[in-house]
Amino acid sequence: MGVSSSLKYLYLHSNQLQGPIAELSNFTLLEGLDLGGNKFNKSILSYIKRFSSLKYLSLENNQLRGSIDVTELNTLGNLETLYLDRNEISGFVTSTGEAGFLQLSKLEELDLSGNQFNNSIWSSLRALPSLKHLDLEENHLKGPVDMQALQDLTTATTLEELDMIGSFLDEEAFRAIGAVTSLKKLFLWEVDGRLPTTGLPALENLEVLDLSDSALNNSFLILKTVGNMSSLKDLRLDNCGLSGTIPSTFGGLENLRSIDLSNNNLQIPISLRPFFNLTKLKFLHVGNNEIYGETEDYNVTPKFNLEYLDLSGHASNETFIPKFLYHQNSLQGVDLSHAITMKSEFPHWLLVNNTQLRSLHLANNSLSGPLQLPMHPHMNLTDLDISINFFHGQIPGAITTYLPRLKWFNTSKNHFRNGIMDWMYSLTVLDLSNNELQDGMPEFLTPKQCSLSTLLLSNNSITGVIPDSLSNCSSLRQMDVSNNRLSGKIPEWMGNMDNLEFLSLSQNEFTGTLPNDFNPPSLQYVYLSKNNLQGSLEKAFHSCRALVTLDLSHNKFSGGIPDWIDLLSQLSFLVLSYNKLAGEMPIQLCKLEQLSILDLSGNNFFGPILPCLRPSSNWYRISIEPAAAYAPEGQQQSIEVTAKNASYAYPSSILQYMSGIDLSCNNFTGEIPHELGLLGNIKLLNLSHNSLTGEIPPTFSKLREIETLDLSFNNLNGTIPPQLIGLYSLSAFSVAHNNLSGKTPERVAQFGTFEEGSYRDNPYLCGPPLNKSCSETVEPQGRNATTSGEGEEEGGFMDMGALYVTFVASYAVAMVATCVVLYINPRWRRALFYFLEQKFFNCYYFLLDNVPLLPRLGLS
């Protein structure tokens, strides 16, 4: 390698190295060696064992698989730190294949996380007397524990940090951990098992306890015993299934600096009285619990001075903004969302008292009145959420003067009436949706004035056009101005927004065609429904290779589905309903392997239904909308789908579980492909109002998750497959207005809920719920079929007996009328006889000239 043999530290991390490295043998004095993030297998250990001076060794994230020969590691007698995490090691053995154990007397830190060890690992760790930090996260530590080995480890070491995330711990394992009196940090999140009846062990030296997301059978014992850990500084018990009240023993944990009890079923007083004596407390997370107001007014000043407070949750009774907040002056983050039920004004005094405050969330707190800002500028607030309240009037025009660092501003679901002001473009996230805004969107001057990443203005009454200056917002990722009164054309520049991922312009008054070459490269979600847009789709979206959702429904687009549609390989939702599109379904639709919803209803498509619309490995896979990643809570777009005989607007949270095909109200012909019955996970299939013929495919009995099946208003014949009664998820079913025959399906399971309307206007269907018995034999006849012979006379739509009588009567009347006319008018009579005489002679001479046989018969 061209490096001095006296080298002590060698860092070769993440170089895709593999196989033996002969040059390593030159560095016999190495004390630190990092080979992590490569592709080494177990053979690398035979090279490393010669480096007896090593103190630090990292082989994390390689390809060490199976059992490791422990003798190769035990030669490293000076090793203090060993990282073997993120491999596929299953155990330690001797050279003879027997179970072995590490003998590294100086080893202090051992990371074995992310491997395939089971509980036998404890016997391999019993001879590590200097071990302080042991990480066994994400292994297979389930089932019985070798208690003797665990006790040997815990009694023979000075272990200070133990990480067993994702393990199974029974009562004996907890007791063994309790014997490690030297423990300072214990990470047990995502563990399951059972606590001893005495609860958590009383670890007097423990400073950090993390039981987040645990699933212990008797978790109620946690709160009862955690108060005995007098040295605790950091306590994390979020999402542990805890319930009840905060025990009084919490008041004795005087060293606590951080507490996380969020996402449980605890009853938390809004006064936070149980925590008042914790003088060192800085971070308190008790959100998403039951917040309640106390009957007596509690005016005692708390001993803590918090930096971060999460008191969000659902209030169970009348609650006010807690008075202890008047005594806090070091707050940097406050979340009181959903916790206040009694009306009050915006607590601007929080900004006055806490000059370091950066984040203030007050969503859904019954706050009302105008938005009152502090009298002097607050220099640190960046996030302000006052959504879902009763604020009204105008948003202060000088808000960026008083809050100059504001970047995240959510005022959605209030009653603000003034429009958008130019200063708002300097924010990063702006949500003014669901207010009463009526003005237009203002222009602004230079690109430097726009920092917007997310702009949410939906559900207002904003008028005018989208300003061209918005094109200067080059960082814009999400734009939702749906359900307003915006008009004009979609701006040309919108197709050049390189970072735009989410665009919703639906339910406005936009007109004209889509911009030429409308292909924002990062676009994933497009909603343009319910406008007056028109023209072809040929030049739009073909380069949007990341597109997941395309909703162009309820417009006036024409032409066909472009042949390049298969280039959108990530497309999950294609909604083109109620336009003026026409043509046959392109075969390229079958190449969209991610497709979950295909809605072409209400157009003029014709031809056969593609049989290749078959399920793929990813059918029923739904992508989560970006609102969850970088938009304020609750910003979800909906797609309108016809299901269960009605139109529903499904939000993205529900669309995760939705899949379907809607081809209704078109001109499709031919038979229904039996391959559609192989779409086992589909929930909606609507083929109504077409001109389909043939029988209902028996394969439809395999649509096990179908909820809506509508085949009405076609020309289907044959019987209804009786196997359909096995569709236990079916809640809406219609084959009305066809030419089906035979008996209706047995009224069991879901088919017991379908009434006459599901079968109406099939003349040859019989059986309940129809008022027609199947005892009478009838022969079905096609609505538009033509037949001949006796069958037509007996089963056709015309009464032949009546036809004969009518014909004879009409002939007789005509003859009588002719005779009467000739008798009354002699001139007409002579003319008729002369005409007949001429025709007779013409026929005679024609036969005489063309038939030689007549002279021989003496007829010449």
pTM of the model: 0.80
398 CB neighbour count, 10 Å cutoff: 11
646 CB neighbour count, 10 Å cutoff: 9
- Around 718, how many Cα atoms within 13 Å sit in the side-chain half-sphere? 13
Nearest residue to 616 (alpha-carbon basis) of 563, 690, 576, 566: 566
> Is pLDDT at 754 greater than 80 in this prediction?
yes
Helix (H, G, I), strand (E, B) or coil at 148: helix
Asked if 706 and 682 count as a contact pair (C-beta separation under 8 A), the reply is yes
- If one compares 320 and 666, the residue with the highest pLDDT of the two is 666
> Is pLDDT at 628 greater than 50 in this prediction?
no
Cα separation of 682 and 663, whole Å?
14
> Is pLDDT at 163 greater than 70 in this prediction?
yes
> Is pLDDT at 265 greater than 60 in this prediction?
yes
Most confident range (mean pLDDT) of 92-101, 513-522, 627-636 is: 513-522
Cα separation of 730 and 710, whole Å?
11
Return the minimum-mean-pLDDT range out of 175-184, 512-521, 615-624.
615-624
What is the tens place of the pLDDT at every residue in 367-376? 999 998 888 9
- If one compares 837 and 201, the residue with the highest pLDDT of the two is 201
**Which of the four pLDDT bands, split at 50, 70 and 90, describes residue 268?**
very high
Nearest residue to 173 (alpha-carbon basis) of 190, 195, 198, 158: 195
Helix (H, G, I), strand (E, B) or coil at 646: strand
Looking at residue 822, its pLDDT comes to 61
How many residues would you count in the chain? 860
> Is pLDDT at 820 greater than 70 in this prediction?
no
What is the tens place of the pLDDT at every residue in 333-385? 999 999 999 889 999 999 999 999 999 999 999 999 999 888 899 999 999 99
Looking at residue 849, its pLDDT comes to 59
**Which of the four pLDDT bands, split at 50, 70 and 90, describes residue 446?**
low
Cα separation of 380 and 56, whole Å?
43
Looking at residue 618, its pLDDT comes to 44
- The residue ranges of DSSP E strands in 682-728, in sequence order, are 684-686, 691-693, 708-710
Asked if 746 and 725 count as a contact pair (C-beta separation under 8 A), the reply is yes
Mean pLDDT of 238-245: 94
Helix (H, G, I), strand (E, B) or coil at 550: strand
Looking at residue 582, its pLDDT comes to 97
695 CB neighbour count, 10 Å cutoff: 15
> Is pLDDT at 798 greater than 80 in this prediction?
no
Cα separation of 744 and 703, whole Å?
19
Rounded alpha-carbon distances, angstroms, from residue 26 to 55, 262, 765: 17, 55, 90
> Is pLDDT at 627 greater than 50 in this prediction?
no
Looking at residue 75, its pLDDT comes to 92
Cα separation of 485 and 466, whole Å?
11
Return the minimum-mean-pLDDT range out of 46-50, 128-132, 604-608.
46-50
Fill in the DSSP letter of residue 99: B
Asked if 594 and 618 count as a contact pair (C-beta separation under 8 A), the reply is yes
What is the tens place of the pLDDT at every residue in 676-710? 998 888 999 999 999 999 999 999 999 999 999 99
**Which of the four pLDDT bands, split at 50, 70 and 90, describes residue 786?**
very low
**Which of the four pLDDT bands, split at 50, 70 and 90, describes residue 848?**
low
Q: Looking only at Cα atoms, what is the longest distance across the chain?
A: 144
Looking at residue 212, its pLDDT comes to 95
Helix (H, G, I), strand (E, B) or coil at 528: coil
Looking at residue 61, its pLDDT comes to 96
Which residue shows structure tokens 């007596």?
296
> Is pLDDT at 616 greater than 50 in this prediction?
no
Looking at residue 143, its pLDDT comes to 66
Q: What percent of the chain has a predicted confidence (pLDDT) above 90?
A: 61
> Is pLDDT at 740 greater than 50 in this prediction?
yes
Most confident range (mean pLDDT) of 63-72, 120-129, 692-701 is: 692-701
Nearest residue to 787 (alpha-carbon basis) of 798, 803, 771: 798
- If one compares 322 and 442, the residue with the highest pLDDT of the two is 322
Cα separation of 651 and 662, whole Å?
18
Distance of CA 86 to the CA centre of its chain: 30
The residues, ordered by sequence, that sit 6+ positions from 791 with a Cβ below 8 Å of its Cβ are 779
Looking at residue 297, its pLDDT comes to 65
Mean pLDDT of 653-664: 79
* Helix H or strand E segment including 835: helix 826-850
- Around 131, how many Cα atoms within 13 Å sit in the side-chain half-sphere? 25
Looking at residue 790, its pLDDT comes to 38
Helix (H, G, I), strand (E, B) or coil at 822: helix
Mean pLDDT of 575-595: 95
- If one compares 635 and 612, the residue with the highest pLDDT of the two is 612
Nearest residue to 551 (alpha-carbon basis) of 506, 508, 589: 506
What is the tens place of the pLDDT at every residue in 301-328? 899 999 999 999 988 898 999 999 999 9
The residues, ordered by sequence, that sit 6+ positions from 259 with a Cβ below 8 Å of its Cβ are 235, 275, 278, 281, 283, 284, 285, 286
* Helix H or strand E segment including 401: helix 399-402
The residues, ordered by sequence, that sit 6+ positions from 115 with a Cβ below 8 Å of its Cβ are 84, 85, 86, 87, 88, 89, 90, 138, 139
| Strand ranges of the sheet holding 243-245, from the earlier edge strand across to the other edge | 243-245, 265-269, 289-292, 313-315
Q: Which tokens go with 401? A: 């003067």
First-to-final CA distance of the chain: 129
**Per DSSP, what are the bridge partners of residue 89?**
66
Tell me the pLDDT of the chain averaged across its residues: 86
Which residue shows structure tokens 């084959």?
735
Contacts 24+ apart (CB under 8 A), 760-765: 760/736, 761/736, 761/737, 762/735, 762/736, 762/737, 762/738, 763/739, 764/739, 764/740, 765/720, 765/740, 765/741
Element counts in the chain: helices (H) and strands (E):
14, 54
**Which of the four pLDDT bands, split at 50, 70 and 90, describes residue 420?**
confident
Looking at residue 201, its pLDDT comes to 83
Query: 3-state SS of the chain: helix, strand, coil percent to 5?
Result: 20, 20, 55
Looking at residue 632, its pLDDT comes to 35
Mean pLDDT of 393-421: 88
51, exposed or middle or buried, with CB in 10 Å at 0-12, 13-18, 19+? buried
Q: Which tokens go with 665? A: 């109200």
Q: Write down all domains in the chain, each with its CATH number in brackets.
A: 548-624+638-793 (3.80.10.10), 810-856 (no CATH)
- If one compares 29 and 844, the residue with the highest pLDDT of the two is 29
Rounded alpha-carbon distances, angstroms, from residue 756 to 3, 168, 735, 764: 89, 57, 10, 14
Looking at residue 804, its pLDDT comes to 60
> Is pLDDT at 615 greater than 50 in this prediction?
no
Looking at residue 364, its pLDDT comes to 95
CA angle in degrees (0–180, nearest 5) for 647-649-650: 120
Looking at residue 228, its pLDDT comes to 85
Cα separation of 85 and 110, whole Å?
9
To the nearest 10°, the Cα dihedral for 750, 752, 753, 758?
100
Cα separation of 341 and 260, whole Å?
24
Looking at residue 828, its pLDDT comes to 61
Rounded alpha-carbon distances, angstroms, from residue 249 to 133, 262, 278, 290, 837: 30, 19, 11, 20, 132
Looking at residue 634, its pLDDT comes to 44
Looking at residue 825, its pLDDT comes to 64
> Is pLDDT at 551 greater than 90 in this prediction?
yes
Q: Which tokens go with 151? A: 């006790």
Residue 769, preceding peptide bond in cis (omega within 30° of 0):
yes
